[in-house]
Amino acid sequence: MTEPNLSIEFAGLTLKNPVFTASGTCGYIDELAAFMDVSALGGFTTKSITLYPRKGNFTPRIVETDAGMLNAIGLANIGLDRFLREKVPLIAQYDTAVFVNVAGRTIDEYVAVTERLSQEKAIAGFELNISCPNVKKGGITFGTDPQQVETITQTVKKVAGAKPLMVKLTPTVTDITVTARAAIAGGADALSMVNTFTAMVIDIEARRPILANRTGGLSGPAIKPIAVYLVQRVYREVAKLAGIPILGMGGIRNASDAAEFLIAGATAVAVGTASFIRPDCCQSVLDGLHDYCRRHKIANIRDLTGTLQD
Amino acid sequence: MTEPNLSIEFAGLTLKNPVFTASGTCGYIDELAAFMDVSALGGFTTKSITLYPRKGNFTPRIVETDAGMLNAIGLANIGLDRFLREKVPLIAQYDTAVFVNVAGRTIDEYVAVTERLSQEKAIAGFELNISCPNVKKGGITFGTDPQQVETITQTVKKVAGAKPLMVKLTPTVTDITVTARAAIAGGADALSMVNTFTAMVIDIEARRPILANRTGGLSGPAIKPIAVYLVQRVYREVAKLAGIPILGMGGIRNASDAAEFLIAGATAVAVGTASFIRPDCCQSVLDGLHDYCRRHKIANIRDLTGTLQD
Amino acid sequence: MKHRSAQSSRIFTAVVRQHRIIRPRYRLLTLELDAKGSAAFASVMPGQFVEIDAGPLSLPQDKDIPAELLDSAKRNIMLRRPFSFSAIRHKGNKFEIDISYHVVGPSTVRLTTLVPGDSLNLIGPLGNGFRIDQSRPIAVLIAGGMGAPPIQHLAAHLKSHHPDMRVTAFIGARSLDEIPFDIGTDPDGGIIFPAFSSVGVPHAMTTDDGSFGVKGFVTQLVEKLLVPGPFQTDKAILYACGPEPMLTAVSRLAAKIGVHCQLSMERMMACGIGLCQSCAIKTRDPQAEDGWSYRLCCKDGPVLDGKDVIFD
Amino acid sequence: MKHRSAQSSRIFTAVVRQHRIIRPRYRLLTLELDAKGSAAFASVMPGQFVEIDAGPLSLPQDKDIPAELLDSAKRNIMLRRPFSFSAIRHKGNKFEIDISYHVVGPSTVRLTTLVPGDSLNLIGPLGNGFRIDQSRPIAVLIAGGMGAPPIQHLAAHLKSHHPDMRVTAFIGARSLDEIPFDIGTDPDGGIIFPAFSSVGVPHAMTTDDGSFGVKGFVTQLVEKLLVPGPFQTDKAILYACGPEPMLTAVSRLAAKIGVHCQLSMERMMACGIGLCQSCAIKTRDPQAEDGWSYRLCCKDGPVLDGKDVIFD
Ligand SMILES: Cc1cc2nc3c(=O)[nH]c(=O)nc-3n(C[C@H](O)[C@H](O)[C@H](O)COP(=O)(O)OP(=O)(O)OC[C@H]3O[C@@H](n4cnc5c(N)ncnc54)[C@H](O)[C@@H]3O)c2cc1C
Ligand SMILES: Cc1cc2nc3c(=O)[nH]c(=O)nc-3n(C[C@H](O)[C@H](O)[C@H](O)COP(=O)(O)OP(=O)(O)OC[C@H]3O[C@@H](n4cnc5c(N)ncnc54)[C@H](O)[C@@H]3O)c2cc1C
Ligand SMILES: Cc1cc2nc3c(=O)[nH]c(=O)nc-3n(C[C@H](O)[C@H](O)[C@H](O)COP(=O)(O)O)c2cc1C
Ligand SMILES: Cc1cc2nc3c(=O)[nH]c(=O)nc-3n(C[C@H](O)[C@H](O)[C@H](O)COP(=O)(O)O)c2cc1C
Ligand code: FES
Ligand code: FES
């Protein structure tokens, strides 16, 4: 058999393979580059960028749980200006599709960041973070109301220029197909799912939450079966018909996990928390997917998407 | 210090301690009795009882996940008549508050089961299962719509006689305080939370879901931090003011886990999945809570409820 | 006075005494039960099982994990796993049990790290084993793949408790690599399984690919040898354990030649003790409106009467 | 041509060479690094650290877990944990490192099961260690509790690389039970820590409860001995590692007596390599509008200049 072709079409882009980093878990790009060949990745999602720098929450910002962790980083980031000055030139050095994850308190902030970056050649596209559970304003409050999802997507899409706009969905809604439809109605070119689940760990000796922010977002293998279910549901009920690709994530740590998401309906997958334990995890996911395709005689990995049987 | 007092007031009942079994994880009562002294428990929740016997789903009905498992038992149970004939006499032999978990396809079925059992001296109260993700009709469809939650609670409450009615909430809603309020408006005497999260595991070799039912409910330590958060939220925003106790559950496997739920706002706690691994788990939770109270000089465990600091 | 149930004596600790590699993916673990466990095992029957908690065990290094299990086997373990015994022996006033296992996933990969002296937490013995039918002294034992351990145990049990019975064993495996026993030779150079020959049970072997023994499915061999023979069907019984397709074939064969059979079934089990209802097996039930109901593999089984099991 | 970054040489394997119990809850683990790790460690500095993956290790039996950790320590582990080194030695063309650790939770409880020959996966060396200030040859080393390992490493480093410096060490612990070193006696019967005396560093000890050494906090002793002495503040520097309250006190003391100090900080770390931003430390930043910004303990630290750290 000839070598499997791992390239995919994703929101109008041709990517060399379906493996991305998840926002907030691999820095701006150079942090990860010390540990793996970032240019081997199909895509890279940056830490959330906001219009102004954000210091983020007090510490502790993380706590480990069974097969997972909570984080309440609070969108700590260097802000648009420094990102443009310091990080965009670095990003330009890597041969991967870099999506900037955009966050804000108001729609205007999302618009300002996207508009400014829509001109940057080094940036492949955007991921709209309307699902971060760790900030007081913006974040998840936008993401749970279908009307707001549509409005913000539509407004930001107008200023994204030719670059694709991905909308990141929160899993903490009664019916995720409703918000998925709203994002697509607003003009989303792709859906990314899922973000973390709001959760809490209590220190029973001090009787206070461990996290300074009290609550944090649960990520890691613990949430994987829920994420797979949600991707599968959105694919079957919404995305497939709409022809909109899904970037699937939640607990992926090896190629088998990634394959589950692809079979469920994702066109690409992102590795988040697992990079903390194995900073070269994306590479091994990639290698493993290659092997999986060979073993199953899948000539084009894009043909794996949504092949879940009834 | 004198020995801590573990007894609690729960929905009008005085219970010897705050440790329950979770519905569906300890059979009708005799199954567990082979492994621990069931009369040591504060409460026991039966497997869901429906008006007519249910065979349940095809197998596989379970699959393990990281720090959790999915189940799609499908409310397999012997039905009201056989329950009355075979199980109620057994239940009468144990000295613990037995709550019958009631399920159905229609409100009439819930009413029929509750009405008939409201006469049984051996039964302490009811838990309304409006949150089971594993059946086509009833179950979770009732549980996500606040209006339906209120209606079903109200209707069933009318026939529950003097026995307390607990309503079991599903975690898969955008805002759980809304359904909690609806249950209380309908007359719930207690809230039990949380039920499982809908989830899926895919066999990547066969490219089908492992479970015959395709999806199942995720339980176990994986969901604990989400459950603690939800209990804490419902306690602060709804239950405390309403004076309605919460039976907290989701991944409890030891006394520290149980203490987290109590501190978060639960009045009692239920052990589910953990009994599969250690069938005497409830006993060790009980012993450990006793030690915790001694160590923290808590004279009455009921004073621990909701002591989470800001 | 309200009823107070006794604390269970069936949750106990066992210490690893021996651990042998039989084939790359097949191992033999010898466990010495503590006093509580030994008491619980006093009247154990072949076909019963234990639930092992492999959660606390370490994960081998990558190089010691079969390549195709690298992803799946690293998953955290929460639930216990059911295993039957291939042998049980008195050891002073304690019992020693042998567990033959196949390395297939997270728990069995972790079991490979056990060394003598290590401890394991067990629940058992659980379920109902084979019920020896005294009125049917022609016992035909059929094992497929990892169904072999309880069949080996049954062979030894029948020979020691029912010396007058005529016991024959048929063992099937996919290939030579998947034979879970030691292979030996008899004085004439013939190939034998000491597991059966040591207790005087004649035995035959099939492999699907013909790499060892007779080529074909074990049930085909059984059919060939039994059906035409001088064979009193009302004095015979088939005792079988193996994968579901094999048990289906055994059940069909038994019906066809008109003999009784007992089948040791498998299901994914969350608890092994009747709490969770995950291990349902479809069985004939004249009482039920539609003629069938589920029984629990862990409590009502794992050994069920062949005529009761419905194979779809 | 687009940039292709090199594969990392900092993810590697180490083999356990020795494992000693120093005190019931304190152990000393000696690891031999593989070739890749040894190369990465060629220019390691005291205060740097490794991230250890204890996830694959087994859980001890209940009786071998401190009672108060029974619940918390059984939790599954996902993340690595940071540990610094108390010593580093050449061993042929490889390096051997000593890790002194305190058993406090799921990872450190699992570490206790390691025996010589076992392997561990490590990432490191990570972060910035102590920067030896050559213009300040009076080096005062201060350790509190589990802050001791990098201070011990620093003592040895200073004596071998900067023999002209005047190095003194002050070590504080809560009580005798929590001294993470071996205790020895000098020829006169005086009590010493071989960890320091073997490299010729005079040292003094405090315990909060007076069960060993001078009663009180280590910073109190430092203040008493240093401040009144004939002591050239512009030639001196404090190097400290320990719990945050101790570091706060060191930073105050340094400011009060007008000497420089370097502090090795701790934060809960999810990654240890700058990916997650979990390990933020509040530091002075004249560039920032409000005069402060966060630095990352894992990348910018763990050792920071005392005057930069803001203790709230
Ligand atoms: C009564 C009884 C007695 C038994 N006796 C023995 C015995 O004596 N010796 C023995 O070796 N075994 C025995 N078994 C089988 C044994 O219990 C299983 O092999 C064991 O549970 C494997 O555990 P594991 O964690 O290694 O693998 P698991 O993860 O439990 O996987 C076991 C099998 O299930 C399938 N599976 C599970 N999850 C997935 C998934 N996500 N995707 C695809 N496939 C999946 C796989 O095909 C795999 O081979 C017995 C079973 C029963 C019910
Ligand atoms: C740069 C650096 C160097 C270090 N060097 C060393 C060293 O050389 N030796 C050494 O022993 N340690 C060292 N540490 C500390 C070490 O990393 C921790 O002790 C280790 O992470 C403990 O891991 P654990 O899994 O055993 O416990 P964890 O679960 O990680 O707990 C560690 C501590 O965190 C607190 N905690 C965590 N979760 C909870 C919870 N749910 N409720 C209440 N409290 C909680 C507890 O108080 C506990 O003592 C260093 C740390 C850093 C940052
Ligand atoms: C430490 C941490 C920081 C994160 N920061 C962001 C962020 O800035 N923006 C965002 O959209 N998602 C963020 N996420 C969510 C991840 O991108 C991802 O959706 C989630 O963690 C699930 O994937 P995982 O289980 O593979 O980590 C963060 C997750 C973690 C663990
Ligand atoms: C095998 C299994 C069967 C269950 N059956 C029921 C049921 O019949 N009715 C119900 O209300 N909840 C049922 N549940 C949900 C549990 O009562 C509990 O809400 C959930 O498992 C979370 O708790 P845990 O993590 O401790 O298991 C079941 C859970 C499991 C694992
Ligand atoms: S495995 Fe739980 S009932 Fe059989
Ligand atoms: S621990 Fe992740 S950035 Fe420091």
Q: pLDDT for B142-151, tens place per residue?
A: 788 999 999 9
Please name the amino acid found at residue C277: Q
> Which of A289-303, B242-256, D202-216 shows the lowest per-residue confidence on average (mean pLDDT)?
D202-216
CA distance B184 to B232: 17
- List all residues whose CB is within 6 A of at least one atom of ligand 3: A 22-25, 47-48, 71, 73, 75, 101, 129, 132, 168, 195-196, 219-220, 249-252, 271-274; D 276
Q: Which of A155, A110, A158 is nearest to A131 (CA)?
A: A110
**A296 belongs to a structural domain:** yes
Mean pLDDT of chain C: 91
Going A18 to A19 to A22 to A26, the CA torsion angle's sign is: negative
Please name the amino acid found at residue D66: P
Confidence of residue B133 (pLDDT cuts 50, 70, 90): low
Q: What is the DSSP letter of B10?
A: E
CA of C193 to the centre of ligand 4 (A): 46
Q: Which of D161, D128, D159, D157 is nearest to D264 (CA)?
A: D128
Tell me the pLDDT tens digit for each residue of D123-139: 999 999 999 999 999 99
Kindly tell me if the per-residue pLDDT of B135 is higher than 60.
no
CA distance D240 to D143: 6
- The model's pTM is 0.96
CA distance A247 to A153: 17
**A264 belongs to a structural domain:** yes
State which residues form the domain around A229. 8-58+75-198+219-304
Q: Do B256 and A204 touch (CB under 8 A)?
A: yes
CA of C274 to the centre of ligand 5 (A): 4
Kindly tell me if the per-residue pLDDT of C4 is higher than 50.
no
Contact partners for chain C, using 3 or more CB pairs closer than 8 A, are: A, B, D
Confidence of residue D221 (pLDDT cuts 50, 70, 90): confident
Q: Helices A281-295 and A255-264, interaxial angle, to 10°?
A: 60
CA angle A242, A248, A251 (to 5 degrees): 160
3-state secondary structure of B108: helix
Q: Do C76 and B66 touch (CB under 8 A)?
A: yes
- Residue of minimum CA distance from atom 21 in ligand 3: A219
pLDDT score of B209: 98
CA distance A16 to A268: 11
Strand B202-203 relative to strand B197-199, pairing: unpaired
Is B132 labeled as catalytic in the residue annotation? yes
What is the gyration radius of the CA atoms in chain D, in angstroms?
A: 20
pLDDT score of D3: 39
Confidence of residue D275 (pLDDT cuts 50, 70, 90): very high
Closest atom of ligand 6 to CA, residue D279: 4
Mean pLDDT of chain D: 91
Q: Do D277 and A66 touch (CB under 8 A)?
A: no
Answer whether C130's CB lies under 8 Å from C45's CB.
Answer: yes
Kindly tell me if the per-residue pLDDT of B114 is higher than 50.
yes
Q: What mean pLDDT is predicted for residues A174-183?
A: 96
**A208 belongs to a structural domain:** no
Q: Do A67 and D268 touch (CB under 8 A)?
A: no
> Which of A84-88, D38-42, D231-235 shows the lowest per-residue confidence on average (mean pLDDT)?
D231-235
CB–CB contacts below 8 A, A to B: 122
Tell me the pLDDT tens digit for each residue of B197-227: 999 999 999 999 999 999 999 999 999 999 9
Tell me the pLDDT tens digit for each residue of C246-274: 999 999 999 988 899 999 999 999 999 99
pLDDT score of B256: 98
CB atoms within 10 A of CB C288: 13
> To test ligand 1's pocket by mutation, which of C50, C70, C85, C104 has the most ligand atoms within 8 angstroms of CB?
C104
pLDDT score of B138: 53
Residues linked to residue C95 through DSSP beta bridges, in sequence order: C90
**B1 belongs to a structural domain:** no
Q: Do B256 and D74 touch (CB under 8 A)?
A: no
State CA C263 to chain mean position distance. 10
**B248 belongs to a structural domain:** yes
**A102 belongs to a structural domain:** yes
User: Distance (Å) from the C-alpha of residue C67 to the closest C-alpha of chain A?
Assistant: 11
Tell me the pLDDT tens digit for each residue of A103-144: 998 899 999 999 999 999 999 999 999 876 655 555 567 788
CA of B136 to the centre of ligand 4 (A): 17
CA distance C108 to C84: 14
pLDDT score of C312: 81
CB–CB contacts below 8 A, A to D: 116
Tell me which chain B residues have a C-beta less than 8 angstroms from the C-beta of D105.
none
Confidence of residue D222 (pLDDT cuts 50, 70, 90): confident
* Number of independent structural domains in chain A: 1
pLDDT score of D211: 87
Domains and CATH numbers, chain C: 8-126 (2.40.30.10), 138-264 (3.40.50.80)
Q: Do D71 and B66 touch (CB under 8 A)?
A: no
> ipTM, 2 decimals?
0.96
What CATH number is attached to the domain comprising A251? 3.20.20.70
Confidence of residue D232 (pLDDT cuts 50, 70, 90): confident
Confidence of residue C65 (pLDDT cuts 50, 70, 90): very high
Tell me which chain C residues have a C-beta less than 8 angstroms from the C-beta of D57.
58
User: Distance (Å) from the C-alpha of residue D21 to the closest C-alpha of chain B?
Assistant: 28
pLDDT score of B105: 87
Confidence of residue D1 (pLDDT cuts 50, 70, 90): very low
> To test ligand 1's pocket by mutation, which of B210, B214, B218 has the most ligand atoms within 8 angstroms of CB?
B210
**Is the C-beta atom of D299 inside 6 A of ligand 2?**
no
Confidence of residue D4 (pLDDT cuts 50, 70, 90): very low
Residues linked to residue B297 through DSSP beta bridges, in sequence order: none
Tell me the pLDDT tens digit for each residue of C187-229: 887 788 888 998 999 898 889 998 888 888 988 888 887 765 6
**Is the C-beta atom of D272 inside 6 A of ligand 6?**
yes
Tell me which chain C residues have a C-beta less than 8 angstroms from the C-beta of A289.
none
**A68 belongs to a structural domain:** no
A225 → closest Cβ in B218, B307, B308: B218
CA distance B244 to B110: 22
3-state secondary structure of C172: strand
Confidence of residue D7 (pLDDT cuts 50, 70, 90): low
Tell me the pLDDT tens digit for each residue of D240-264: 999 999 999 999 999 988 899 999 9
Kindly tell me if the per-residue pLDDT of D216 is higher than 60.
yes
Report the percentage of chain A scoring pLDDT > 90: 91
C61 → closest Cβ in D59, D61, D119: D119
Q: Which of B190, B131, B194, B193 is nearest to B163 (CA)?
A: B190
Going C246 to C247 to C248 to C252, the CA torsion angle's sign is: positive
**A108 belongs to a structural domain:** yes
**Is the C-beta atom of A59 inside 6 A of ligand 2?**
no
Q: What mean pLDDT is predicted for residues C8-29?
A: 92
Report the percentage of chain A scoring pLDDT > 70: 96
Find the chain A residues whose C-beta atoms sit closer than 8 A to any C-beta of D. Answer: 24-27, 31-39, 47, 55-56, 59-69, 71, 73, 76, 93-95, 220-221, 273, 275-280
CA angle C215, C220, C223 (to 5 degrees): 140
CA of C309 to the centre of ligand 5 (A): 17
Kindly tell me if the per-residue pLDDT of D27 is higher than 90.
yes
CA of C270 to the centre of ligand 5 (A): 6
**Is the C-beta atom of C265 inside 6 A of ligand 5?**
no
Tell me which chain C residues have a C-beta less than 8 angstroms from the C-beta of A65.
none
Q: What is the DSSP letter of C67?
A: G
Q: What mean pLDDT is predicted for residues A161-182?
A: 95
Mean pLDDT of chain A: 94
3-state secondary structure of A288: helix
- Residue of minimum CA distance from atom 19 in ligand 3: A195
Kindly tell me if the per-residue pLDDT of D2 is higher than 50.
no
Tell me the pLDDT tens digit for each residue of C124-168: 999 999 999 999 999 999 999 999 999 999 999 999 999 999 999
> To test ligand 5's pocket by mutation, which of C80, C299, C300 has the most ligand atoms within 8 angstroms of CB?
C299
Answer whether D151's CB lies under 8 Å from D262's CB.
Answer: no
Tell me the pLDDT tens digit for each residue of D136-178: 999 999 999 999 999 999 999 999 999 999 999 999 999 988 9
Please name the amino acid found at residue A88: V
Q: Which of D72, B175, C126 is nearest to A172 (CA)?
A: B175
Confidence of residue C6 (pLDDT cuts 50, 70, 90): very low
Q: What mean pLDDT is predicted for residues C71-80?
A: 94
CA of D106 to the centre of ligand 2 (A): 9
Answer whether A211's CB lies under 8 Å from A198's CB.
Answer: no
